[in-house]
A and B are shown apart, each in its own frame.
Chain A
């Protein structure tokens, strides 16, 4: 009986794993099958030329560049906001602090807010400040979107830092400010994971950049210019009635997937490198 029970649940677990791996494979298969034929060197080295959206020449360099700018900018901005928060609620506030709990609760709530709301919020802010759709607007909206992810995933790691480690550093006569270095080293694998999660979210999100970054055929050369993004490129091309253009959407998806893959591998590599000292 107990063996049957074990077998039953083990089968369920294996099934679940197969379902998730299977869906991933099917998505990848669809993307590769339709995208690969449409892939060519021009797609990643050229910006769209006239008539690109009705099947003529050009590429998606505008969207690739725009997406990378937005991801890098918003991750940087997001870290700038989230690291001080995580440090403050974990080192400066006492263990059972109301303020810390409130911060955690708020970031949980913000985590669940749909990205279109961030887009709309960013847009409202931009209207208020008289900004046009721009790279900066996109970066700010996406930073708002990923900050709760960064906070929560870093906080989960920071919370389980052994009390002994903080005590050890403090008993050497360090101030709380001086132990930040120790804490950051200890949670560096957590920071990498947080960045990875938020980069994945940031690069794939279409709704938050729709109103804020806009779309353009050019590569932005300053923060005040609009920027194209890969998810929007996919969206616009998929809406086209021309099959050739729809295939290009899959090619864009392929590029997007590839970027995420490269970033993940890099993050894993560096995470291992940085965490060698972890206790």
Chain B
């Protein structure tokens, strides 16, 4: 594992080192495309008095793929769900610290929660199409955000089904129920649905783990294409997937960020003993 050659492109190293361990440092929103898209500062999450996330500080860089890896129960998914504030739907949640998206604290009580969620497209573990037709699945988001014009909706549906590589497969049966699609197609439908509300960030919660190898390869390829325009944060259980597509790696263990940095660095030259052990399959 350690001898693995990761394709290192120049620009990985040109980008600013985005991992900030200095707790006092404040992020400055700027037009610089290298500025982190999501910054997490001293984030603590308690669920029913269990300390799930412990003092998390990390940055999700703009327009690249960040993979969050770590053993089961280390808080990866919890972290992801704090990003679009879905976590608070459960009982007895306490959150301290800040999550800044474009410099805006998403836990600010004055903020419009739907505005935050619209910015973050979530792709869950199992595809979950809405109980509607293929067309309506994509059109649902734009409709609730105010697009009513049929022609515009048609264009949106075609554009994002294309973006998810699904258009050719479904263009003749747009009004068929979404649940008739195969599970791999459903996941791409969910991706297209998420993209249709024009998010800035794509969050993937083990988005390929329920899929067959071919479907999951398609999703991976889509992620690589989409990072041109979106910042992508993926929770993944498969180290190989992280090796294939990640630009940055965040390694978590028992609710803490152990190590984070550019993928090539973390994979080839991990600084922490725990990371080394995890990467070499000592535990998983």
Binding site for B on A (CB under 8 A): 94-96, 162, 164-175, 178, 182, 185-186, 276-279
Contacts and interface: CB of A to CB of B under 8 A. Distances in A.
Given A172-B141, A175-B114, A279-B129, A167 B197 contact: no
Contacts of A175: 114, 144
Given A164-B124, A277-B177, A278-B179, A170 B130 contact: no
A167 B203 CA distance: 13
B120 interface: yes
Which of B130, B131, B144 is packed against the most chain A CB atoms within 10 Å?
B131
Given A95-B91, A278-B179, A172 B118 contact: yes
Given A178-B144, A277-B178, A173 B115 contact: yes
B131 A174 contact: no
A119 to B, nearest CB: 39
Contact of B114 (A168, A173, A279): A173
Interface residues of B, number: 31
Interface of B: 84, 86, 89-91, 114-115, 117-118, 120-122, 124, 126, 128-133, 140-141, 144-145, 177-179, 190, 193-194, 197
Contact of A277 (B114, B120, B131): B131
Interface of B is mostly: mixed
A162 B129 CA distance: 11
Contacts of A95: 90-91
B86 A167 contact: yes
A183 B225 CA distance: 33
A168 B130 contact: yes
24 contacts: A96-B91, A165-B128, A165-B130, A165-B131, A166-B89, A167-B86, A167-B124, A167-B128, A168-B124, A168-B128, A168-B130, A169-B140, A171-B84, A172-B118, A172-B193, A173-B117, A173-B141, A174-B141, A178-B144, A182-B130, A182-B132, A276-B177, A277-B177, A278-B131
Contacts of B90: 94-95
Contacts, number: 83
B128 A279 contact: yes
A172 B144 contact: yes
B175 to A, nearest CB: 11
A171 B144 contact: no
Contacts of B190: 168
B85 to A, nearest CB: 9
Contacts of B177: 276-277
A279 B140 contact: no
B91 A279 contact: no
Q: Can you list the 8 inter-chain pairs with the closest CB atoms, starting with the nearest?
A: A173-B118, A171-B122, A172-B141, A164-B128, A277-B131, A185-B131, A173-B114, A277-B177
B6 to A, nearest CB: 32
Contacts of B122: 167-168, 171
Which of A95, A171, A174, A279 is packed against the most chain B CB atoms within 10 Å?
A171
